[in-house]
Structure 1
């Protein structure tokens, strides 16, 4: 099979991914081998490629929004799974024994592994994964693999960010601010509107602001504009510390800012008065298998839309450069040869 592999992180003005020919890997006892049909690209992939997020192993096949069909299974896995269409998300494994795992917080497990960071991911024709983290996509059976792929990180992590912000089906009438309007924020807006939440969007782009209004936001402005009403919660997507500070200033008493980023530059000094009245800042760290399962059901229920552009697998370097420059609407989805 072929894969696009990272060996030398650095500026993506130079191609960081190289085409590699790899022998097919036999799955271990608890694993499955997946023929990949689509893999969406993510800003985290860019941050790993540039070295902003340090690599856990090299060479590495990036990609953690993977859709494919199970080709082979390990000795401990029911062969009935062969042929099943599954999705891989950011979480690839966890110990299952620590206090975090036993409490349903496997995203915090010290021995957790993550797709396209600790283990090879989906910028390839095939991938091996732990069977219990290869998620059944039956609720989305009528959707194409290309349209589902951007759900597996942008959507799932957006769903977890909403949970961290303490918003859900019982939050009708709440006010939510989205700081940034990329692939994840677009999906968060749809989920929040489904729950009856009023959404306020801050973005650097007039075009994105208009797109947010057309998608149902009640207000859209710049990062430094103050929303016309105090927010019960805000989610920041841009990896910029100053935006977190702006979001805090827009909170109502008791409000929460959830930082939806694996990497963030330095947080600026903040006035304690902006944080007082039990306002809080929380990070969103990874996802759990429960998050993924619940999100897949919700995405099917509300027919969650994804904006994406198809790229051939061999064009992954160009995709990284365009993500860095901001010249993408929604997500890029990589298409392996023959798909």
Structure 2
């Protein structure tokens, strides 16, 4: 039996829970969970905001731990090895996306917390090819958020060939944005942070932003017309997207990694006349996650975290809901 914390109804409290995972499959590993980040996606799943939660739900998809068991067909991982597990706990391994290295785009990928029990537990199981070894030199306590938030903001740099000479802006300096600024600075880009918080201006600069712009100041946004090659939006609220489009250069891209649920109100001529693009992306493939970890190690990039004990998970969830988290929360064994 696996001991865990589960929620049994939308937005309910997490309670001690045990479940029988059955026999370990030949291509699976079992991870002894040492740390697990708490992400806004966990909150969305707990509240069934996306309409796909199955209860009881064991959240947790930013797992760091040691391999405790390996299936008989697993050759690339060994007991005791330190690994991480993110949003996906398995792939179909047959579709064109899986066979060409885009496993994160597999239409039938197994979510770690979608129809599957996640990392708010003593152990968690996953397909071996969804698990990524963590290089020596990474702070394990802070590594969990890299497997969701970190890879979410790193993936576009790889997918769209962002150059060190690119001028890039980040909307929202929070759980995603504070990591995006660090990655972009280390990538070599000139980085601008859009933020509505005066308190975050100094911190954005300390994280690696070269400039800041007040996202609530129409005159400041207008003055930035035609400046950016890429804007990464990390927020989940509706903004004046046409104002942000105006700050893009010709061929510029407005890219969404924050799950804004409202439809986009876009002036199509702003796209056509300057050949601009709008796009979005999820987490990355295991290969891109591995690349991100090496990059983070090389440049000493890590999320800013607050820690709670696993038994204080409800207190940690409440802290995240309050909006006061700075910036990611990690449960520690």
Aligned to 2:153: 158
CA contact (8 A) 2:231 2:255 kept: yes
Distance 1:110 1:283 in 2: 16
Give the 5 Å matches for 1:254-273: 254-261=251-258, 263-273=259-269
CA contact (8 A) 2:87 2:148 kept: yes
Distance 2:77 2:33 in 1: 19
Distance 2:202 2:58 in 1: 36
Distance 2:213 2:318 in 1: 27
Residues 156/21 of structure 1: CA separation in 2 closer, same or farther (3 Å cut): same
Gaps of 5+ in 2: none
Aligned to 1:209: 201
> What is the TM-score with the length of structure 2 in the denominator?
0.91
Aligned to 1:308: 305
Give the 5 Å matches for 1:182-331: 182-225=174-217, 226=221, 228=224, 230-242=227-239, 244-261=241-258, 263-276=259-272, 277-331=274-328
Asked if 1:2 corresponds to 2:24, the answer is no
Distance 2:271 2:151 in 1: 28
Q: Which of 174, 177, 190 matches 2:169?
A: 177
Aligned to 2:68: 71
Q: Which of 137, 140, 145 matches 1:142?
A: 137
Distance 2:15 2:115 in 1: 19
Residues 213/279 of structure 1: CA separation in 2 closer, same or farther (3 Å cut): same
* RMSD (CA atoms): 2.1
Distance 2:242 2:322 in 1: 24
CA contact (8 A) 1:164 1:282 kept: no
Aligned to 1:119: 116
The Cα offsets for residues 247-300 of structure 1, whole Å up to 9 and x where unpaired, read as 323211111111003x32213432233223111110113321121111111111
The Cα offsets for residues 196-229 of structure 1, whole Å up to 9 and x where unpaired, read as 2011111232112221012221221332341646
Residues 128/252 of structure 1: CA separation in 2 closer, same or farther (3 Å cut): same
The Cα offsets for residues 65-96 of structure 1, whole Å up to 9 and x where unpaired, read as 10000111112224970111110011221111
The Cα offsets for residues 163-212 of structure 1, whole Å up to 9 and x where unpaired, read as 34531xxx223111100111322222122111220111112321122210
Aligned to 2:90: 93
Distance 2:184 2:34 in 1: 29
Residues 34/120 of structure 1: CA separation in 2 closer, same or farther (3 Å cut): same
Tell me the matched-pair count. 326
Gaps of 5+ in 1: none
Distance 1:78 1:35 in 2: 18
Residues 278/97 of structure 1: CA separation in 2 closer, same or farther (3 Å cut): same
Residues 53/213 of structure 1: CA separation in 2 closer, same or farther (3 Å cut): same
Distance 1:329 1:118 in 2: 30
CA contact (8 A) 1:4 1:123 kept: yes
Distance 2:178 2:282 in 1: 20
Corresponding residue SS for 2:288: helix
